[in-house]
Amino acid sequence: MEGRSDNAQRSRALVTQIKRSQIFRDYEEAFRETTGLPLNLRPIEAFDLPHHGDPKENPFCALMAQTNQSCAACLQLQKKVEEQARLEPKTLKCFAGLCDSAVPVRVGENLVAFLQTGQILLHTPTKAQFARTTRQLVKWGTEVDLKRLEEAYFQTRVLTKKQYGSILRLLTIFAQHLSSLSNELSVKTAAAESPSVTKARIFIAAHQDEEISLGQVASAVNMSAFYFCKTFKKATGMTFTDYVARVRVEKVKNLLLNPHKRVSEAAYQAGFQSLSQFNRVFRRIVGEAPSAYRERLHGARRN
């Protein structure tokens, strides 16, 4: 688990760099204009809604993202897509029959990111399919304007399997280009980041669920606390305390994907020593209370 957390941190940093590159911006614009579909480059272990806010987001999916249970269903689908697309492109269908696809971006044996598109139908939408979708929403207790939802559903882009397959092949080719770019960026990042900082990140990931101090980490990388503090801040852009807090919050967010996980249980499992500290840190970093975040994922359930 420690290695995976460290890999996720690296992936997020790498994706940020790739998105700033001209080749990605040019391809992103051309892909959206040519296909009319959303596109997102997503780091590993980032279980969010990849197309929410995209200029080409499906109106039906945008409405679904506003409700707790359907949002949670979409997030669970993203987790499943990532798990199954680690070696090759994978397409899965959501509860409403829409397809979402992920294409892995790999550097050698390492998975570094996913290219994602979708929110399309591979068949003409039918009244029967929409009725099944509506029954599921009613079962969840979802409050939504069904007339608006129906209009949006029947406006969903419909592609043949051959057309969609060609689009995914284009993404696969682009993923290969991004693989080369990722390798270059990884080498530059590795050269720019001192071995001590890299070692410190790994140590933090391995001990995040324990009480760890700046002095302990500094000692682990054979540096004085004062010099380590300055070096770490310069390399990461964050203080040691803020970095550890963010690592732990990301751990909590992953744990809360499990609808049966209590917020308090996730907080202590991630390494927070008190709930008051956890609530304060979570709200500062995520922008909402942990209970509100969990409710948005899984609906109103007692923590």
- CATH number of the domain bearing residue 180: 3.30.450
Question: Are 52 and 134 found together in one domain?
Answer: yes
Residue 227 within a domain? yes
Count of domains forming the chain: 2
Check residue 6 and give its pLDDT. Answer: 67
Both tokens assigned to 97: 């029959």
Question: Are 288 and 200 found together in one domain?
Answer: yes
Nearest residue to 100 (alpha-carbon basis) of 133, 61, 65, 143 = 61
Residue 280 within a domain? yes
Rounded average pLDDT over 144-162: 93
pLDDT (tens digit, 9 = 90+) per residue, 41-64?
A: 999 887 778 888 899 999 999 888
Domain boundary among 164, 189, 214: 189
Rounded average pLDDT over 206-228: 92
Domain residue limits at 213: 195-298
Domain boundary among 128, 158, 189: 189
Question: Are 176 and 104 found together in one domain?
Answer: yes
Cβ neighbours for 208, distance < 8 A, ≥ 6 positions apart: 2, 5, 244, 247, 248, 251, 270, 271
Inter-residue contact 271 to 208 (CB < 8 Å): yes
Cβ neighbours for 103, distance < 8 A, ≥ 6 positions apart: 85, 89, 114, 115, 116, 168, 171, 172, 175
Question: Are 159 and 232 found together in one domain?
Answer: no
Query: Is the per-residue pLDDT at 273 higher than 80?
Result: yes
Nearest residue to 295 (alpha-carbon basis) of 71, 51, 104, 91 = 71
Question: Are 7 and 125 found together in one domain?
Answer: yes
Nearest residue to 275 (alpha-carbon basis) of 261, 291, 287, 258 = 291
Check residue 301 and give its pLDDT. Answer: 42
Distances (CA, A) of 266 to 1, 16, 253, 274: 15, 27, 8, 12
Residue 249 within a domain? yes
3-state DSSP helix/strand/coil % of the chain, to nearest 5:
60, 10, 30
In terms of average pLDDT, the best of 80-89, 104-113, 174-183 is: 80-89
Residue 157 within a domain? yes
Question: Are 213 and 172 found together in one domain?
Answer: no
Computed over every residue of the chain, the mean pLDDT equals: 85
Cβ neighbours for 89, distance < 8 A, ≥ 6 positions apart: 101, 102, 103, 104, 168, 171, 172
The CATH number of the domain where 205 resides is what? 1.10.10.60
Amino acid at 134: T
Question: Are 13 and 136 found together in one domain?
Answer: yes
- In which band, very low, low, confident or very high, does the pLDDT at 172 lie, cut at 50, 70 and 90? very high
Question: Are 18 and 70 found together in one domain?
Answer: yes
Residue 116 within a domain? yes
Predicted TM-score (pTM) of the model is 0.62
Check residue 303 and give its pLDDT. Answer: 40
Question: Are 106 and 211 found together in one domain?
Answer: no
How many C-beta atoms surround the C-beta of residue 280 within 10 A? Answer: 14
Question: Are 36 and 174 found together in one domain?
Answer: yes
Question: Are 185 and 241 found together in one domain?
Answer: no
